[in-house]
């Protein structure tokens, strides 16, 4: 989405400006304004929205700092727009979501089990909740063998719920990822992903895909586009982002796989770097609101 703003940058430019995993290469397969396209799709399917997130770091058996923060930020946005977010995750990742939401929202713990039982659970959940839309944020996706691998090439089948089955049985879906092994990357040609990311890219597609330097930024990009379209700033503040990050590290021992520890960082980025991107997105929204008020 290109907005007339003082920085002359698009939402997509900003959320890809720090890109240590080279996910920008995927951009050629997406619409130029993919955040705006996803925002429009969300608006068209506003209702009960399932937000699927949580990536377990195998060496720590704890959830990652990237994903849940963006999920809760989007969930708050959905509520402000009149929809209902329901979070789907597994194990320790559910505890992170409970911390972030103060136990005020519905969180479903998807069991880690075999393919047959996982698919049955997914179908029953969709029947019970009748969601209008599914959104995945930093959630590992099936490779071509319906297995899960992290960026180090390690199998994580035994610690990851098979949430892909939710997306395989629903017609309205959005994926957000930063590395190539997340749900949603099936929109990109597999041969290209295998060249770019030899270690088991995901083949699970979504209707819309958002790529970013971190998946939290991808969620913020979607919220920025929604803010512009809705005519109100729906983004969290930098102070809120910092508080969320501190909470899940101190309370849940959330882990950053890039620092290999429970640190107040996301994919190696420190709070000031995270705030820098968020504040640039705030500038886009504020410039848009200011321009509209002058019309």
Tell the burial category of 209 from Cβ atoms under 10 Å away from its Cβ (0-12, 13-18, 19+).
buried
Q: Which long-range contacts (CB under 8 A, 24 or more apart) does 168-171 make?
A: 168/119, 168/122, 168/204, 169/119, 169/122, 169/123, 169/126, 170/126, 170/131, 170/134, 171/207
254/9 Cα distance (integer angstroms): 32
Residue 293: its pLDDT value, please? 67
Of 202, 230, 212, 180, the residue nearest 78 (C-alpha): 230
> How do the residues of the chain divide into helix, strand and coil, expressed in percent and rounded to 5?
45, 15, 40
What average pLDDT values come out for the chain (295 residues) when binned by 10 residues?
57 98 96 99 99 97 98 99 99 98 97 99 99 99 97 95 99 98 97 84 98 99 99 99 99 95 97 98 97 68
pTM given for the model: 0.96
178 and 215 Cβ atoms separated by less than 8 Å: yes
Residue 5: its pLDDT value, please? 46
Architecture of domain 11-288: Alpha-Beta Complex (3.90)
Q: At 140, phi and psi to the nearest 5?
A: -60, 140
């Amino acid at each position: 989405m290109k907005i007339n703003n003082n920085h002359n940058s698009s939402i997509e430019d900003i959320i890809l400006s720090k890109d240590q995993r080279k996910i920008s290469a995927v951009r050629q397969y997406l619409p130029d304004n993919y955040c705006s396209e996803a925002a429009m799709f969300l608006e068209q399917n506003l209702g009960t929205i399932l937000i699927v997130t949580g990536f377990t770091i195998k060496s720590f058996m704890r959830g990652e700092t990237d994903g849940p923060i963006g999920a809760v930020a989007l969930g708050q946005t959905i509520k402000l727009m009149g929809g209902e977010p329901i979070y789907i995750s597994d194990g320790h990742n559910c505890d992170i979501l409970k911390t972030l939401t103060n136990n005020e929202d519905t969180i479903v713990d998807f069991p880690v089990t075999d393919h047959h039982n996982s698919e049955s659970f997914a179908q029953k959940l969709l029947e019970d909740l009748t969601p209008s839309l599914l959104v995945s944020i930093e959630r590992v996706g099936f490779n071509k063998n319906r297995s899960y691998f992290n960026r180090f090439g390690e199998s994580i089948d035994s610690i990851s719920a098979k949430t892909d089955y939710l997306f395989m049985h629903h017609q309205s879906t959005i994926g957000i990822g930063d590395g190539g092994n997340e749900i949603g990357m099936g929109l990109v040609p597999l041969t290209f992903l295998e060249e770019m990311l030899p270690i088991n890219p995901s083949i699970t597609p979504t209707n819309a895909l958002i790529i970013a330097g971190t998946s939290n930024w991808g969620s913020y990009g979607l919220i920025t586009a929604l803010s512009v379209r809705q005519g109100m700033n729906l983004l969290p503040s930098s102070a809120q982002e910092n508080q969320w990050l501190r909470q899940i590290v101190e309370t849940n021992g959330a882990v950053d796989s890039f620092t290999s520890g429970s640190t107040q960082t996301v994919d190696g980025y420190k709070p000031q770097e995270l705030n820098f991107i968020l504040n640039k997105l705030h500038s886009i929204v504020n410039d848009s609101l200011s321009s509209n008020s002058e019309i």
